[in-house]
Every structure is written in structure tokens, then in C-alpha cells.
């Protein structure tokens, strides 16, 4: 289950480690590669297990303010802990993030007996590589690069049979360059440096007075969604975890959605971290340069490629047996016109924040202008929208909202950097605002609706408040909040929408939407209601603070890909919105 897994990573790759000591999901050498350990999606999908002899699950926690995971196991023979991490620190003023999983076994009490079994697979084929035993390592052949498990434990014991542990043992699973130096000192240095790096990074975060632990964990999780080599930000670390049981809604989220990246950058801005925006700007410039007419896709691979043809892997059983397992994502073929506005919003701080004046280059200004023109051009045209409907497209209110946001922010940028064009963008923004407020409204309830002429609401309409299309004290804001709560609340949490999207009607809550509601309530001054909703969200079964895409409000069980950037972005935004200021409490 998702509440029994922790995430480790270093900006190059990631892995999910279960409470039973198994690395159950890991794609190498990067997020969107094929799995090396894929037991999460199939019992025969490969794993790297370190567990007690009796196979009892342990208790997990993160070493405070880090992405270093500790699992403590107890057994009749004794207790021990496993420390899991991906090395991440700075060497010679450069980020060091090798493609290596480090696992350290440390006895705590007694003489515990453990089982170790490393069984990688060669991607979606699930073929087992051949093994070659060295003096202190096992090499796995068939990957196209050197793959090795290096250890100071006896190799004869690494077949899953129990053996006693009286001292620290070290295991390093490496993709590419193997370990060639003394293992114990190397692992200790890697652990110390990695802990030091993450704690220093956390100390540089801005956090609100309330919800501090949740914000810190969300910040650390979000950082692991950033692929530092190119600046891409992935939506999630997994593929094909269903949004709800037997729904068929199993998608591959290991890619960079431009929309998701914008919201993630907003969270990093609240946290006081800006290097992610600089890295993503370069990623976006690279993507845009490959499309002179800015015919942007909603998502791309983390290297900027768009070859994302969707297919199903029929020989994979799926998470808890829920097939299909999908690779690639058909949404890359969609038209989702909100993306142009979101890219303008992502780049706006470069031009309005004095700290980034040296980044506001003519090339980036030209890109923002072109994105704005494109956003204005496509406003009101049918598209798949933010929810990526796989049925007949129609004009989406949210997409038009983002077109308005692009024109509005571009007018502010032009005031400073291109005064001669500011009036034109202001006029475009006013026209779009007028159109939305006249054509995207239910005439009976007088609330904004999901599409022109529609009577249904969807949770994305809460963004009209946070983005400023309507004033926080306006009747439209109040009516829209009430309509969304009336129509979409389920068990105290919020669904995306209630319409048939081509796969039936959703039966679970979308985690981000509840956070959007917290933010909207805070904006209109209903802070106590916002804090009550934050308390309700606390009931989601997430002992490590990691959040998935969806949650069943009746059981508080998480579903959907995990961890989900959107959900942690929502947590950060909502926490800052619902928390008092430091000046009010200190």
C-alpha cells in the first residue's frame, strides 16, 4: 500500500522503499527510464529486499529534515535498522548525484537475523540478468552498462536465506561506475554528506508558523521531483497506480507537465528557493526552440523530447492487480491551451522581481511575449483542458482563465520592459475577463461553471480567486466556492468534477483540489474554515507525510501515482495561506 513506502532520490533518479525493506520501484538511470526494480507493479517485477528473517515489516521514518530513510525492524533475535538514501551533496562546487542506492544495515540490539535478496529485472521485459560473482560484488549483465551490487556481507548469503548480523553491513547498488574504494568509510561519508546537504537545504527554506513538518516534508519531496540535468520537473515518480480500484485510470506520470511545473515553481517561490526556476527556464527555452510556432505539448520527457506514444505492458499485473500498466502518455497528443498562460506566469517573476534582473534577457522577454500572443489567440477554443478529458473536447473555462492571466501579467511586464505594448495587453485581458464572466456563468446560480453554456462546476474554478480574475470580496467568489463545495465535496474532501470523463464518474477525491479550497477560503477571509479543512486533510493515511494524487474519503486510503508533485505543491500553498504570519505569533 502507498502508506507503507518512503521515497529516496537525488535529482537524477528515485526509488520507493516499502516498510518490509524492499526497494519496490526504481527506474534507472533516470525517472522516465525502464524499471530495474518494479515489484510495485508486478510480483515478478524485481526488487531489492533487506528484511528480518521472519519477514515482519518495520517502522519507517525520515532522518529529520532529510531525504534519508530509516526502517527499524524488530524480531525475536534482535533489532536492526536499514538506512536508505541516494547520495546527494556538493563536490568542487558541483552537484554530486551518482546513480547509486546506498543501503546500510546496523544492528541495534541482540543478534538479528536478516534476509537479503537483490533481484533486478531488465526493464519492461522482466528478464532477469545473468549474474557474475566477484570477490565483494555481484555484476548483473544485459543492461548495456555496468550494473553491480557491492557489499561487505558474505555473497553466499545474498540468496534470501537468513544470516546473523553482528556489525554494520553496507550495500551499494550502482548503475554505471561501480564502487572501487573501501565500502564502509565510503558509505559513512556519503551518509554524513547527504544528511548535511539536505539539512542545509531545509534551513534555507521559508516556512509558515503552522504546519511546519508537513511543509518541510513536502518541500523535500518536491525537490526530488526535479531532474537537475535539464531542469525538468516530473509530475510523479510512478506509472499506473490507479486513481481508484478497477477504474482503468492508470497513467504514466514520470514526465514533465508544463502546467505542473508552473505550480511547483510557485511552491518553491514560497519556500524561498529560486534555482529551480532558473533551471526550468532553460528547460522551457530548449523546448520552445524546437517549436518555432510554439505549438507546445502539455508534457515532455525530462530531456525535452515528445516521443510519448502510450502503450500497455500486457505482461505486468499492475498495482495490487489493477491493470493496465501504461508506458508513455497519450496526453502528449492533446491540445491543452491553458499551458501558455501557465508558462507566462512561471516566467513573470523574472521581470517583476528585482532579484532576477540579470535573468530577464531579451530572449526570455521575446518568449514571454510570444507565449502571451499564443494564449490570447487560442482563448475560447475547444481543448482537453486541465483534466485531460479523453472524450470530445470543448472550450474550457480554466483554459480561458489562463489566457486572461497571460495577458494580465504581460501587461504588467510591459509596463516595465516594453511600455508601448502595455495598453494592448491590458485591453486583451479586459476583453477576456468580460467574456469569461458573461459566457461561463450559470444564469440560475450565478456561479462560474466549467465551460460556456454548462451547468457543472469543477474544482479548477477556485483558481479564479487565487489568480485574481474576481476579487476576494466579490459575490462571484463566494458563490463559486459554495457551488463547488455543494457539488464536489465527498467525505469532507474535494473531487475534481462529477461529470463522466470517458471512464465514468470519478469516485475519489483529488488531493490537490482540497488544498485549492483551503487557499481560496483563506483568500476570502474564511480562515477558520480553511484550517478546519487542513485538519481534515491530516486524516489521510500518510505516516511519512508523502501524498499521492487521489484519496478515498471514506477510508482515507491513498490512490493514484505517488508521490504526486501536485499534492505537495497544494500542501505548501495551502499551509502558507492558512497559517498566520510570523509577526503575529513570534
Residues 310 and 252: beta-carbon distance below 8 Å = yes
Q: What is the pLDDT of residue 175?
A: 98
From first CA to last CA, the distance across the chain in angstroms is 40
pLDDT of 554 higher than 80: yes
Q: How confident is the model at residue 505 (pLDDT cuts 50, 70, 90)?
A: confident
C-alpha cell at 24: 519496490
- Closest CA relative to residue 186, chosen from 152, 154, 158: 152
Q: What is the pLDDT of residue 495?
A: 96
pLDDT of 92 higher than 80: yes
- Angle of helix 362-378 relative to helix 338-347, nearest 10 degrees, comes to 150
pLDDT of 340 higher than 80: yes
The average pLDDT across 216-245 equals 97
pLDDT of 443 higher than 80: yes
Burial of 443 (0-12, 13-18, 19+ CB in 10 A): exposed
The secondary structure of 183-237 as a DSSP string is HHHHHHHHHHHHHHHHHHHHHT----SSSHHHHHHHHHHHHTTEETTTTEE-SBS
Average confidence score pLDDT of the chain: 95
Q: What is the pLDDT of residue 301?
A: 97
The secondary structure of 425-456 as a DSSP string is HHHHHHHHHHHHHHHSB-TTT--B-SSTT---
Give the pLDDT confidence of 471-492 residue by residue, as tens digits.
999 999 999 999 999 999 999 9
Paired residues of 481 in beta bridges:
none
Q: How confident is the model at residue 99 (pLDDT cuts 50, 70, 90)?
A: very high
Percent of the chain with pLDDT over 90: 90
Q: What is the pLDDT of residue 389?
A: 82
User: Is 310 strand, coil or helix?
Assistant: coil
pLDDT of 499 higher than 90: no
What Å distances lie between residue 563 and 223, 322, 473, 533, 543, CA to CA? Answer: 12, 18, 35, 21, 13
Q: What is the pLDDT of residue 292?
A: 83
Q: What is the pLDDT of residue 81?
A: 98
Q: What 8-state DSSP symbol labels residue 2? A: G
Residues 527 and 510: beta-carbon distance below 8 Å = no
Q: How confident is the model at residue 390 (pLDDT cuts 50, 70, 90)?
A: confident
The secondary structure of 325-394 as a DSSP string is PEES-GGGGS--THHHHHHHHHHTHHHH-GGGGGG--HHHHHHHHHHHHHHHHHTT--B-TTTT-SS--B
Amino acid at each position: 500500500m502507498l502508506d507503507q513506502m518512503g521515497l529516496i532520490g537525488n535529482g537524477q533518479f528515485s526509488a520507493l522503499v516499502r516498510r518490509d525493506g524492499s526497494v519496490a520501484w526504481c527506474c534507472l538511470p533516470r525517472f522516465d527510464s525502464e524499471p530495474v526494480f518494479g515489484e510495485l507493479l508486478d510480483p515478478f517485477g524485481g526488487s531489492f529486499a533487506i528484511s528480518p528473517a521472519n519477514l515482519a515489516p518495520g517502522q519507517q521514518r525520515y532522518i529529520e529534515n532529510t531525504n534519508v530513510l530509516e526502517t527499524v525492524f524488530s524480531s525475536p533475535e534482535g533489532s536492526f535498522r536499514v538506512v536508505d538514501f541516494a547520495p546527494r551533496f556538493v563536490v568542487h562546487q558541483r552537484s554530486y548525484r551518482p546513480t547509486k542506492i546506498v543501503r546500510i544495515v546496523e544492528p541495534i540490539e541482540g543478534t538479528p537475523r536478516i534476509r537479503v535478496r537483490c533481484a533486478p529485472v531488465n526493464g519492461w521485459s522482466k528478464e532477469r540478468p545473468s549474474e557474475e560473482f566477484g570477490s565483494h560484488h555481484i555484476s548483473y549483465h544485459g543492461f548495456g552498462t555496468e550494473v553491480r551490487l557491492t557489499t561487505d556481507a558474505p555473497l553466499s548469503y545474498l540468496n534470501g536465506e537468513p544470516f546473523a548480523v553482528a556489525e554494520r553491513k553496507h550495500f551499494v547498488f550502482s548503475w554505471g561506475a561501480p564502487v572501487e574504494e573501501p565500502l564502509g568509510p565510503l558509505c559513512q561519508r556519503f551518509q554524513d554528506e547527504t544528511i548535511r546537504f539536505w539539512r542545509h537545504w531545509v534551513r534555507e527554506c521559508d516556512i509558515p508558523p503552522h504546519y511546519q513538518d508537513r511543509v518541510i516534508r513536502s518541500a523535500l519531496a518536491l525537490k526530488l521531483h526535479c531532474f537537475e540535468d535539464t531542469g525538468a520537473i516530473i509530475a510523479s515518480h510512478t506509472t499506473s497506480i490507479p486513481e481508484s480500484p478497477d477504474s482503468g485510470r492508470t497513467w504514466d506520470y514520470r514526465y514533465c507537465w508544463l502546467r505542473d511545473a508552473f505550480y511547483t515553481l510557485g511552491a518553491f517561490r514560497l519556500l524561498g528557493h529560486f534555482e529551480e526556476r532558473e533551471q526550468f527556464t532553460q528547460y522551457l527555452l530548449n523546448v520552445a526552440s524546437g517549436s518555432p510556432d510554439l505549438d507546445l505539448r502539455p508534457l515532455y520527457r525530462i530531456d525535452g523530447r515528445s516521443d510519448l506514444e502510450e502503450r500497455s505492458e500486457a505482461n505486468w499485473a499492475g498495482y495490487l492487480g489493477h491493470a493496465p500498466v501504461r508506458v508513455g502518455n497519450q496526453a502528449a497528443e492533446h491540445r491543452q491551451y491553458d499551458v501558455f498562460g501557465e508558462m507566462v506566469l512561471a516566467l513573470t517573476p523574472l521581470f517583476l522581481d528585482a532579484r532576477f534582473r540579470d535573468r530577464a534577457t531579451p530572449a526570455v522577454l521575446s518568449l514571454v511575449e510570444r507565449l502571451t500572443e499564443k494564449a490570447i489567440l487560442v482563448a475560447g477554443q475547444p481543448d482537453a483542458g486541465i483534466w485531460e478529458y479523453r472524450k470530445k473536447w470543448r472550450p474550457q473555462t480554466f483554459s480561458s482563465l489562463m489566457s486572461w492571466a497571460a495577458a494580465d501579467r504581460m501587461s504588467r511586464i510591459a509596463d516595465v520592459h516594453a511600455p508601448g505594448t502595455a495598453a494592448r495587453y491590458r485591453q486583451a485581458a479586459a476583453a477576456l475577463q468580460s467574456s469569461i464572466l458573461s459566457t461561463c456563468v450559470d444564469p440560475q446560480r450565478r456561479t462560474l461553471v466549467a465551460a460556456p453554456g454548462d451547468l457543472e462546476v469543477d474544482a479548477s474554478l477556485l483558481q479564479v480567486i487565487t489568480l485574481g480574475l474576481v476579487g476576494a470580496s466579490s459575490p462571484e467568489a463566494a458563490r463559486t466556492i459554495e457551488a463547488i463545495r455543494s457539488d464536489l465535496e465527498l467525505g469532507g474532501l474535494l473531487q475534481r468534477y462529477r461529470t463522466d470523463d470517458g471512464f465514468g464518474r470519478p469516485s475519489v477525491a483529488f488531493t490537490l483540489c482540497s488544498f485549492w479550497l483551503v487557499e481560496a477560503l483563506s483568500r476570502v477571509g474564511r480562515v477558520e474554515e480553511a484550517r478546519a479543512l487542513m485538519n481534515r486533510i491530516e486524516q489521510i493515511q500518510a505516516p511519512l507525510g508523502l501524498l499521492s494524487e487521489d484519496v478515498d474519503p471514506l477510508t482515507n486510503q491513498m490512490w493514484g501515482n505517488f508521490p504526486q508533485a501536485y499534492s505537495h505543491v497544494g500542501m505548501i500553498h495551502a499551509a502558507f495561506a492558512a497559517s498566520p504570519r510570523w509577526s503575529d505569533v513570534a
